[in-house]
Amino acid sequence: MAMFEGLSEKLQEVMRRLRGKGKLTEEDVAEAMREVRRALLAADVNFKVARDFVNRVSARAVGAEVMESLTPAQQVVKIVHEELTALMGGEAARLAAAPQPPTVVMLVGLQGAGKTTHAAKLAVLLKKQGRRPLLVAADIYRPAAIRQLQVLGEQAGVPVFSLGQEDPVRIATEAVAHARSQGLDYVLVDTAGRLHVDQELMAELQRIRDAVGPHEVLLVVDAMTGQDAVNVAEQFHQQLGITGVILTKLDGDTRGGAALSVRAVTGQPIKFVGVGEKLDALEPFHPDRMASRILGMGDVLSLIEKAQAALDAQKALELQQKVQRAEFNLEDFREQLREMRKLGPIDQWLALLPGFDQIKKQLPENLQVGEKELRRMEAIINSMTVEERRHPEIIDTRRKHRIARGSGTTIADVNRLLKQFEETRKLMKQFAGMEKQLKKRMGKLGRLPGLPFLGPRR
Amino acid sequence: MGLFERLKAGLQKTRQALVEQINLVITSVRKIDESLFEELEEVLIQGDVGVETAAELVDHLRDLARRRRLETADQLREAIKAKVMEILGDPVPMAENPSGPTVILVVGVNGVGKTTTIGKLAHHYRSQGRRVLLAAADTFRAAAIDQLRIWAERAGADFIAHQEGADPAAVAFDAVQAARGSRRADVVLIDTAGRLHNKAHLMEELRKIRRVVERELPGAPHETLLVLDATTGQNAVQQARLFKEVAGVTGIALTKLDGTAKGGVVIAVRKAEGIPVKWIGVGEGLEDLQPFDPRQFVAALFEG
């Protein structure tokens, strides 16, 4: 994932150095914060936004509970992560839906930000969700802009409303009426791009807004934008009252600081990100995940929190030692299943691991287990003798029959459980290898208490 | 309106935003002290000069102030002007082919204003009485060909295009061949599809376009212009590096300078890659592309 890579590298480096220290002084924190500020600036985060961010983190980081904790560096990382998430808007935001269709969405922004392309991408996304969008060609100025939207609409299989070089206000108004009469439920208005200092254009956009009363005014922003992102966002927000942002060209190697700036100055959420030239290259924006990506840590922090809250540290330690001695058996597997039930759905917390994307493909299908399945698996193991649990290799067909009867399951279920046990044992070896990399990347934070298979192999 | 006036008018917002801030900082503080340097660094960073370049400039100023015993804010302003001017260097004119058509390849990421810049360049050369041929080698973006055709009509330039989705190198080849033969053009402007510089396959396509042009007319393209959006931040340095590597960029056209964007990143680009800015876009009209003159630029930037 190229997104934010540069920024995350720099921040990680700072955090790594911080973790190298046992006890933190205020000077250590100040030094780290200077570097964080530099990293943010180099990533094109707006100057004022970066300064405010660093001030907020610093204020919390030099607090007594951090400095006196056993793992001050880890606490600082946690604060940075929390503040970064907050800066990007906390929860993921959805596209509005009008109580009475059609929902009207206006796309506005500078020239070249990607309004036309993203109007079409949004149409494709809505169509995939079973909606019936209408694209509206209200950019009557840029040569061939209407034709561009028509071509894209054709590619997307979405109708395009156009009245040629007519007054954009009339185009938008008639488009909404057209959508209503045709039972189309989303109207996406592609407006002309011009500089935010262009009063004439702003006035025109205001007239369109007043005429159609859009439920969403989405500002389309190029992710490569520099310090000026705040001026652009502020102007558009002041004059039009934007309700959200589409961040485009995030598939470049930009560090993407504009994302932070735009959210900070408008208070409006980033709703979508454009990640490619194809029409389906539009994704919802997840602030929390993005914060983690910036720090390059997967969502390890929330994983740690979850694990610490849910798992019995003593049991985990025992289990970890067994894995290290390669003695992992069905009794341990049962213990692990019990712990897993406390953690919640397995795929959810596995997804929090850094590098999970890469290993996801290798995960066996049957590892995608739910709560009910976990209970059944436990029942099967409960029906085994101690001998069978400790030495699964002795389980033959006759024993399987007995176990199945005892647990109210079938032979196939028992076979599946045994297979899952084997897969898990194999996976642990992989994870153990991964943990080494993880440790390298994360310094002292690498050890995940309570997750046995993340312990070192030997 | 003369050229300098137009340039100044176009840069009005830039001056208000950056220069007057600098001036404010410089003149509002009587004597030179550390906080003045810090504020100056702030202003430079906010102008997209980049955190590293800004720090270097300020370090240089600090050093200079000490060595030359600078005392007033005015002296400091002259010093920073001189330094930026030194980085930007002397104006570099557009290359010309003395023995045939001058071929100009125009490249850049999506949405920076390549097609519009070509329209303006066409007008520039047309107003010198030269025969201009536009080549629509952006065969990817929907309606890009139509957009360029409209600009060709406006500027009174000749026009060559294939179908949408055609091989862009073939379009470029045809254009260069036509310019030397049937169409007899003095200047060939090749429009290419916007591409993010980190997309290897798209950059390979660009390399091929360049190679084909080179083969057809040795010495061509005589200029490869990278179009940079002035609102772009530090990523512009990366863009310059990769486009230079693949397409042999010889100059920059800096667009959208008529907004509040400060365009300071060209200083960093010049420092890092040595690519001179040759044009600036300061408006939407055909006339709103001006040859970049570092002296005027800095003067307009640092004087109110």
CB contact (8 A) between residue A226 and residue B234: yes
Q: How far is A384 from chain B (nearest CA, A)?
A: 56
Chosen from A277, A278, A279 to mutate, greatest number of chain B CBs within 10 A: A277
Answer for the pair A70, A23: CB distance below 8 angstroms, yes or no.
no
The length of chain B is 304
CB contact (8 A) between residue A42 and residue B50: yes
Torsion of CA A223, A225, A228, A231, to 10 degrees: -30
Res A447: pLDDT: 38
CA distance B190 to A166: 32
> Which residue does chain A place closest to B112, by CA atoms?
A112
User: What pLDDT digit, counting tens, does each position of A253-300 carry?
Assistant: 777 788 888 988 999 999 999 988 899 989 888 776 666 555 544 444
CATH level 3 topology of A300-442: 434 Repressor (Amino-terminal Domain) (1.10.260)
Which residues on chain B are in Cβ contact (under 8 Å) with A229? 231, 233
Answer for the pair B15, B304: CB distance below 8 angstroms, yes or no.
yes
How many other CB atoms sit within 10 Å of the CB of residue B156?
12
CA distance A182 to A178: 6
User: What is the distance in angstroms between the CA of the first residue and the CA of the last residue of chain B?
Assistant: 19
Res A422: pLDDT: 82
Please list, in sequence order, all residues whose beta carbon lies within 8 angstroms of the beta carbon of residue B55, skipping any fewer than 6 positions away. Answer: B41
3-state SS, residue B106:
strand
User: What pLDDT digit, counting tens, does each position of B14-38 carry?
Assistant: 555 666 666 666 665 557 778 778 8
CB contact (8 A) between residue A195 and residue B197: no
Domain boundaries, chain B: 3-88, 102-303
Which residues on chain B are in Cβ contact (under 8 Å) with A278? none
CA distance A369 to A149: 45
User: What pLDDT digit, counting tens, does each position of B216-266 carry?
Assistant: 999 999 999 999 999 999 999 999 999 999 999 999 999 998 877 778 899
CA distances from residue B137 to B159, B165, B184, B218 in whole angstroms, order as listed: 11, 10, 19, 20
Instruction: Give strand ranges (E) for chain B.
Output: 102-107, 132-137, 158-160, 187-192, 223-229, 251-255, 277-281, 289-291
Answer for the pair B153, A161: CB distance below 8 angstroms, yes or no.
no
The percentage of chain A sitting over the pLDDT mark of 90, rounded to a whole number, equals 42
Torsion of CA A308, A309, A312, A313, to 10 degrees: 20
User: What pLDDT digit, counting tens, does each position of B70-107 carry?
Assistant: 887 778 878 888 899 999 988 899 999 999 999 999 99
Cα–Cα–Cα angle for B98, B99, B104, nearest 5°? Answer: 70
Q: What is the pTM of this model?
A: 0.74
CA distance A160 to A150: 6
Res A321: pLDDT: 62
User: What pLDDT digit, counting tens, does each position of A374-422 carry?
Assistant: 788 889 999 999 899 988 889 999 999 999 999 999 999 999 889 888 8
User: What pLDDT digit, counting tens, does each position of A27-45 carry?
Assistant: 888 888 888 888 888 888 8
Q: Which of B42, B45, B109 is opposite residue A252, by nearest beta carbon?
A: B109
Question: pLDDT tier at A335 (50, 70, 90 boundaries)?
Answer: confident
Question: pLDDT tier at A458 (50, 70, 90 boundaries)?
Answer: very low
Q: What is the CATH number of domain B3-88?
A: 1.20.120.140
User: What pLDDT digit, counting tens, does each position of B119-128 carry?
Assistant: 999 999 999 9
The length of chain A is 458
Handedness of CA B143, A146, A118, B110 (dihedral sign): positive
Angle between helices B51-67 and B73-88 in degrees, nearest 10: 130
CB contact (8 A) between residue B109 and residue A224: yes
Pick the CATH number of A2-87 from 3.50.50.60, 1.20.120.140, 2.60.40.1290, 1.10.1280.10: 1.20.120.140
Q: For the residues A344-372, what does the mean pLDDT come to?
A: 51
Residues of chain A numbered 246-305 and touching chain B (CB < 8 Å): 249, 251-255, 257-258, 277
CB contact (8 A) between residue A148 and residue B147: yes
The type of residue at A450 is: G
Q: What is the CATH number of domain B102-303?
A: 3.40.50.300
Which class for A416: exposed (0-12), middle (13-18), buried (19 or more C-beta within 10 A)?
middle
Count of pairs with CB atoms under 8 A, one residue in A, one in B: 139
Domain boundaries, chain A: 2-87, 103-294, 300-442
A64-70 long-range Cβ contacts below 8 angstroms, 24+ apart: A66/A24, A67/A24, A67/A26
CA distances from residue A239 to A234, A247, A351 in whole angstroms, order as listed: 8, 20, 41
Res A318: pLDDT: 63
Q: What is the CATH number of domain A103-294?
A: 3.40.50.300
CA distance B265 to B289: 19
CA distance A62 to A118: 44
CA distance A263 to A242: 11
CB contact (8 A) between residue A145 and residue B143: yes
